[in-house]
């Protein structure tokens, strides 16, 4: 990215106005600063600001307004792929250094600063009997995850995290900090809960915690030659599972990395994961059909709800990868058979994970007072990811993902889900026309200059 001498002088002035750090393509740490979670994503903005406070964010936005630049909020950089094609005149404002978690156990409200990741919240909740509706990784940012949905281990019982938000503080296009809630700027509050980073730079957020006195969670693991029986049995179980039980079933090819436990390292497996918001006896009855298939490993145990963010064993450090996802209506046994044949034993699939998550329950309902993202269509969420290893071209991963997508396409739900989307697109791909029209109207009111640039734009 070429910066004129005048722009370099302007950026030097911005450096003098903030406590944080301003980084340009001429700085030695440029490549490190522009890195996101998916290392195959090559984002090339005009400059990057590491904000350390809401005041830093405001100064950065005022700078961008003065110089007719766009602003893209970012913390951990998960799912940043859709953002990258249009960054030539964009100032990325990273809130990574804005840390802070406050827990009020009496009101059951958590307050977080914009750079907080989920592990920093769950560690504060241990032993409280309260839980947050976090996802499957402790290193995902709370704000980005929350603004566009948030589907985790309590989702079938309590729905998406986006609709637990009670307050959002953000910097608007004029560099002013405003507070949005059901009572103050209610239209903006509605749009932020689903519309992502298109309306300002969020600096803090408050959200409800849910009472969760106990959980029984773990994994059942078999060699992946058993995948068809496992997937079929799980599929037969789903109609009987209560909303308190959220489950996934996946084909996994474990890499031979030393940090992976020896009993899993380098193996090809079929793994059932589950979190039951209840007691051991009830969970045992529900798990009986799968345990009858004699899993090689059974890790189910009573756990503090704060431990659920580690259950899925997601990578916590950035890696290069390719991924795909789809929301689905309920699949049938024949589809499962074709899926296992295409991605399981003997398929030569290069994908590290091919997964189906059971959704439905509270995720399917539209609760009063919800934001723009009211519910999640369908009964399942499909996700696949493959690491871009040396000697493995991206085309091989794309071809395999396309093969599985063709099998699942007949069961595709009416919309997709922002938080798993890695390809460029528009918000219109994720919302019905009425909701999209309302989002556009609020965007025009609160961001008249179209200053802010979310991963997916209107």
pLDDT at 393 over 90: no
Domain boundary among 94, 122, 152: 94
Q: Which DSSP symbol is given to 312?
A: T
pLDDT of residue 390: 84
The answer on 400 and 278 residing in a single domain is: yes
CATH number where 124 lies:
3.30.465.10
The answer on 389 and 359 residing in a single domain is: yes
Instruction: Answer whether residue 453 is part of any domain.
Output: no
pLDDT tens-place string over residues 56-68: 999 999 999 999 9
pLDDT at 3 over 70: no
71: left (phi over 0), alpha (psi -120 to 50) or beta: beta
pLDDT at 362 over 90: yes
Angle (nearest 5°) at CA 115 between 85 and 135:
80
Tell me the average pLDDT across 260-277.
Answer: 92
The answer on 396 and 289 residing in a single domain is: yes
pLDDT at 336 over 80: yes
Instruction: Answer whether residue 375 is part of any domain.
Output: yes
Residue 5's pLDDT band, with cuts at 50, 70 and 90, is: low
Residue with token string 């019982």? 157
CA distance 210 to 103: 12
Instruction: Answer whether residue 151 is part of any domain.
Output: yes
Tell me the average pLDDT across 219-233.
Answer: 97
Domain boundary among 94, 125, 151: 94
Instruction: Please state the separation of Cα 181 from the chain's center in Å.
Output: 23
Q: Tally Cβ neighbours within 10 Å of residue 145.
A: 26
Instruction: Answer whether residue 135 is part of any domain.
Output: yes
CATH number where 28 lies:
3.30.43.10
Tell me the average pLDDT across 363-376.
Answer: 91
pLDDT of residue 4: 62
The answer on 268 and 197 residing in a single domain is: no
C-alpha closest to that of 247 among 205, 289, 206: 289
pLDDT tens-place string over residues 181-225: 999 999 999 999 999 999 999 999 999 999 998 899 999 999 999
Q: What are the distances in angstroms from CA 341 to CA 325, 397, 408?
A: 19, 16, 13
The answer on 119 and 203 residing in a single domain is: yes
pLDDT of residue 64: 95
CATH number where 258 lies:
3.40.462.20
Instruction: Answer whether residue 454 is part of any domain.
Output: no
CA distance 117 to 139: 5
Residue 295's pLDDT band, with cuts at 50, 70 and 90, is: very high
The verdict on pTM exceeding 0.85 is yes
Tell me the average pLDDT across 121-143.
Answer: 96
Instruction: Answer whether residue 353 is part of any domain.
Output: yes
Is 42 or 422 the better-scoring residue by pLDDT?
42
What is the number of residues in the chain?
458
Is 406 or 214 the better-scoring residue by pLDDT?
406
Structure tokens at 63: 């700078």
pLDDT of residue 2: 53
The answer on 306 and 258 residing in a single domain is: yes
Instruction: Answer whether residue 458 is part of any domain.
Output: no
The answer on 230 and 207 residing in a single domain is: no
The answer on 206 and 149 residing in a single domain is: yes
pLDDT at 250 over 70: yes
Domain boundary among 59, 94, 129: 94
- Helix residue spans in 347-424 (DSSP H): 394-408
DSSP codes of every residue in 55-86 = HHHHHHHHHHHHTT-EEEEESS-TT-GGGGGG
Strand partners, 101: 112
Specify the DSSP element, H or E, that contains 236: helix 227-237
pLDDT at 319 over 70: yes
pLDDT at 7 over 70: no
Q: Please say whether the beta carbons of 95 and 49 come within 8 A.
A: no
Q: Please say whether the beta carbons of 46 and 90 come within 8 A.
A: yes
Specify the DSSP element, H or E, that contains 202: strand 201-208
CA distance 208 to 187: 20
Structural domain total, the chain: 3
Instruction: Answer whether residue 128 is part of any domain.
Output: yes
Tell me the average pLDDT across 229-246.
Answer: 97
Domain that holds residue 154: 101-211+426-446
pLDDT of residue 422: 80
Tell me the average pLDDT across 279-295.
Answer: 96
The answer on 308 and 228 residing in a single domain is: yes
pLDDT tens-place string over residues 24-83: 999 999 999 999 999 999 999 999 999 999 999 999 999 999 999 999 999 999 989 888
The answer on 412 and 302 residing in a single domain is: yes
The answer on 403 and 259 residing in a single domain is: yes
Spatial CB neighbours of 391, under 8 Å, sequence gap ≥ 6: none
Tell me the average pLDDT across 155-175.
Answer: 97
Spatial CB neighbours of 32, under 8 Å, sequence gap ≥ 6: none
pLDDT at 6 over 80: no
The answer on 330 and 238 residing in a single domain is: yes
């Amino acid at each position: 990215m070429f910066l004129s001498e005048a722009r370099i002088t302007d950026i030097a002035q911005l450096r003098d106005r903030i406590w944080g750090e301003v980084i340009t393509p001429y700085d030695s740490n440029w490549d490190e600063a522009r890195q996101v979670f998916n290392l195959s994503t090559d984002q090339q903005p005009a400059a990057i600001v590491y904000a350390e406070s809401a005041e830093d964010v405001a100064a950065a936005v005022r700078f961008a307004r003065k110089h007719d630049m766009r602003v893209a909020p970012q913390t951990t950089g998960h799912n940043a792929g859709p953002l990258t094609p249009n960054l030539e005149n964009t100032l990325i404002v990273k809130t990574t250094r804005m840390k802070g978690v406050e827990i009020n156990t009496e009101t059951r409200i958590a307050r977080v600063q914009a750079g907080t990741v989920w592990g920093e919240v769950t560690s504060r909740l241990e032993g409280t009997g309260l839980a947050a509706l976090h996802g499957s990784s402790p290193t995902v940012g709370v704000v980005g995850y929350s603004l566009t949905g948030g589907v985790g281990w309590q989702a079938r019982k309590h729905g998406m995290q986006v609709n637990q938000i009670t307050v959002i503080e953000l910097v608007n296009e004029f560099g002013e900090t405003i507070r949005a809630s059901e009572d103050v700027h209610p239209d903006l509050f509605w749009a932020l809960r689903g519309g992502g980073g298109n309306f300002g730079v969020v600096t803090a957020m408050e959200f409800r915690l849910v009472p969760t006195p106990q959980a029984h969670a773990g994994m059942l693991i078999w060699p992946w030659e058993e995948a068809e029986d496992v997937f079929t049995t799980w599929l037969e179980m789903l109609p009987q599972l209560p909303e308190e039980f959220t489950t996934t079933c996946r084909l996994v090819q474990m890499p031979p990395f030393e940090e992976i436990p020896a009993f899993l390292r380098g193996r090809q497996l079929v793994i059932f994961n589950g979190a039951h918001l209840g007691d051991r006896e009830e969970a045992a009855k529900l798990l009986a059909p799968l345990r009858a298939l004699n899993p090689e490993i059974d890790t189910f145990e009573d756990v503090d709800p704060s431990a659920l963010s580690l259950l899925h064993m997601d990578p916590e450090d950035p890696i290069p990868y390719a991924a795909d996802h789809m929301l689905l209506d309920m699949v049938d046994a024949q589809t499962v058979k074709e899926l296992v044949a295409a991605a399981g034993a003997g398929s030569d699939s290069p994908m590290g994970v091919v997964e189906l998550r059971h959704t439905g329950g509270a995720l399917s309902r539209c609760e009063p007072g919800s934001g723009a993202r009211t519910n999640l269509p369908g009964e399942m969420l499909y996700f696949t990811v493959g690491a871009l290893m040396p000697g493995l071209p991206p085309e091989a991963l794309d071809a395999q993902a396309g093969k599985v997508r063709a099998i699942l396409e007949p069961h595709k739900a009416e919309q997709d889900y922002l938080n798993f989307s890695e390809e460029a697109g528009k918000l219109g791909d994720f919302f019905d026309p009425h909701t999209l029209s309302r989002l556009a109207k609020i965007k025009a009111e609160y961001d008249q200059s179209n200053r802010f640039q979310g991963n997916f734009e209107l």
